Amino acid sequence: MTVTRLHMTETAESDIWRLIGRHDGRPVRQPDFEPDLEGLAEDLSRVLRAWRLDDSAELLGAVTGIADRSSRLGLNRLCRVARTVATLVGSGDRPALAANVARLDRLGQTTLSDIFRLQDMPG
């Protein structure tokens, strides 16, 4: 019998390295992206709150904010998932919406954690 294991983690490493501006292990000067990261964190928390309250308008606003900010930051994978959620909000496909909201939350939290961890690395 074959058992399949799904790993519930996903990263956007290439996007993150590009964002924090490291090339060959050396820091590269980047514009200030802290305001967009803070907004991204706020929008991620809005997504979960809107999902729990079944508030489609709030959910759409939050994922649109995530898509806009992540696009500006070059976090392409996060942007694509946020746009998928935005498309599914009015579709009536609750299982697909639930799966993509969960994916957006996992990817968003992992991405933010990785950015802050890598920013703090010496070098």
Quick: pLDDT tens for 22-61.
445 555 445 567 788 899 999 999 999 999 999 999 999 9
SS3 22: strand
Residue 73: what pLDDT? 87
Distance (Å, whole) CA 86 – CA 80: 10
Q: Of the candidates 8, 5, 11, 6, which has an alpha carbon nearest to the alpha carbon of residue 114?
A: 11
> What confidence tens digit (pLDDT) does each residue in 61-89 have?
999 999 999 998 889 999 999 999 999 99
Q: What is residue 10's predicted lDDT score, i.e. its pLDDT?
A: 58
